[in-house]
Amino acid sequence: MGAWVMMNLWCYPEILLAFACFFFIYILRNKNKVLVNWPLVGMLPSLLLNLHRLHDWCTQLLRQSGSTFEFHGPWLAGMELLITCDPANTNHILSNNFSNYPKGSDFSKIFDILGDGIFNSDSDVWQVQRKMAHTLMNAAKFRQYVAKRSREKVENGLMPVLEYKARRGDVVDLQDVLKRFTFDSTCILVFGADPGSLSLSFPTVPFSKAMDDAMEVLMFRHVVPESCWMLLRWLKIGEEKKFAEAWKTIDCFINEHISKRMEELTESKMDTKEEEMDESVDLLKSYIKYRCEDETGISKSDGFLRDTVMNLMLAGRDTVSAGLTWFCWLISKNPRVESKILDELRATSIITQGGNAQKPAVFEPEELSRLVYLHAALCESLRLFPPVPFEHKGVLQQEILPSGEVVRPSTKIMFSLYAMGRMEGIWGEDCLEFKPERWITERGRLRFEPSYKFIAFNAGPRTCLGKDVAFTQMKVAAAAVLYNFHFEVVDGHPVEPKISIILHMKNGLMVRIRERRCA
């Protein structure tokens, strides 16, 4: 049929000329517009042309359109989006009228790999999971466990690897090193076991590769019509084939660790002394203990444990490593900030491994929690490079947003966290500068910024429960790395965001490391 139509069109060149003239006039009339809405295909061509620089392109559009714009996809493709970085909209959607903006069924379809975990769930199911996670993650024993294990992993894993690379003079991908650090750390907190990926041999980690692949495909699902990726999934080809393979690898890893942990707990119950000596309070162990259905009202089958662990691994492994990588890059480009952090660290006491001054110094989390400038520098890094660069919401009932736009149940809303940190109207004319001082008051204390303005950890009822855990891990790692080593990015190495759900660097962070003695 299509060939017949094209053949008939070629028989009538005047029709082709008319079409050509129409599109030429259309281009001329829309050349100064922020985004051209083409007939039938909508704004999709512009999106695909700028996909390689998606976050910066979106920032440009939001600047030109006043912090909010409507994106129209192909006809009947279900890609009607309202993209915003307006703090008033953010506050309204994430806090003031939270109940009208669930994650929604579209979110669950795209993020199906997360199952029925806390990131996908809504309403009553979400509230039960939230309450359970809040109880477990705010327990004093778990917080102590986080602090102890994070410091140990820095001391026995991160420092030896960086010291070895520095003495050899090797070029190293710091992003890969930090990914391994947070992967091992997250496994310790979730499973109570260290997989040992951060070692001098740099072993292959199929799970990490699978997670990276999955995150890329999730981004792909956001930029093409649902019918396209659903067709690829049905045919088991392309991106969806890669996604299925990654999912299989991820499930294999998670299920293996769940089974192993359950066996260990079963054996420890048989040995009362061993159970009393077990100091681990990892999250999987805690969730297994809460398997009684009538306590929480939801089933805690193996599927529930799988989904819970998957959500925890995503939250811990990817976000912290991305945050640390961008922080290290920003520090390498801002020696003034580096010097200020070092001055602050020199003013505090340190713990060295076994009291040996020849070994890298490692700081106690309690000491670091009192440091103002280090915390400010991390916040400033997260402002410019939020690990999760956008947030996705659905709409239940039609209403008018504070910015004046009408949203309907068919509308999908996206917040651009990346763009929000680059808006002069929000952060001032120096918004593109890495300036930790903006987080410090005249009295030298940390300045409070409302969560709807700085939403690296979300805002409202869905504020990230792992915020304190993330800061503990980032501070212990960042302090030790900066105090013991100086690193320089290899000349000519391209640094740009990877187009993925998590804001990793596309080409890694290739650096040369040298030791320094700050004491």
In a domain, 11, yes or no: no
Dihedral sign, CA of 116, 117, 120, 121?
positive
What average pLDDT does range 489-500 have in this prediction?
94
Look at residue 30 in the predicted model and tell me its pLDDT. Answer: 47
Question: Which pLDDT score, from 0 to 100, does residue 288 have?
Answer: 85
Q: Is residue 314 part of a domain?
A: yes
Please give the pLDDT value at position 2: 41
The length of the chain, given as a count of residues: 519
pLDDT in tens, 199-240: 998 998 899 899 999 999 998 998 888 889 999 999 999 999
Mean pLDDT of 300-313: 85
pLDDT tens profile 123-153: 888 898 899 999 999 999 999 999 999 999 9
Q: What is the CATH number of the domain that holds 170?
A: 1.10.630.10
pTM of the model: 0.89
- What is the spatial distance between Cα 65 and Cα 71, in angstroms, rounded to a whole number? 12
Out of 17-26, 153-162, 196-205, 217-226, give the one with best mean pLDDT.
153-162
Query: Does the residue 16 lie in any domain?
Result: no
In a domain, 9, yes or no: no
Q: What mean pLDDT do residues 343-363 have?
A: 74
Q: Is the pLDDT of residue 35 over 80?
A: no
Average the pLDDT over 11-32 and give the result: 47
Q: Is the dihedral of CA 54, 55, 58, 63 positive or negative?
A: negative
pLDDT tens, residue by residue, 387-405: 999 998 999 999 999 999 9
Beta strands across the sheet bearing 171-173: 171-173, 510-515, 485-489
Distance CA 453, CA 441 (A): 17
* 24 lies in some domain: no
Left (φ > 0), alpha (ψ -120 to 50) or beta: where does 510 sit? beta
pLDDT in the model for residue 363 = 93
The rounded percent of the chain whose pLDDT value lies above 70 is: 86
Which residue range(s) make up the domain with 352?
33-515
Looking at residue 350, what is its pLDDT? 60
What is the count of structural domains for the chain? Answer: 1
Predicted pLDDT at 382: 98
**Residue 17 falls within a domain, yes or no?**
no
Helices marked H in 271-333: 272-277, 283-289, 293-296, 302-313, 319-333
In this predicted structure, what is the pLDDT of residue 24?
46
Q: Note whether residue 21 is domain-resident.
A: no
Phi, psi of 494, rounded to the nearest 5 degrees: -75, 125
Structural domain contains residue 15:
no
CA dist., res. 411 & res. 215, Å (int): 24
Please give the DSSP secondary-structure letter assigned to residue 456: T
**pLDDT for the residue numbered 293:** 45
Beta-strand (E) ranges in 335-477? 351-352, 361-362, 390-393, 399-400, 406-407, 412-416
Does the pLDDT of residue 243 top 90, yes or no? yes
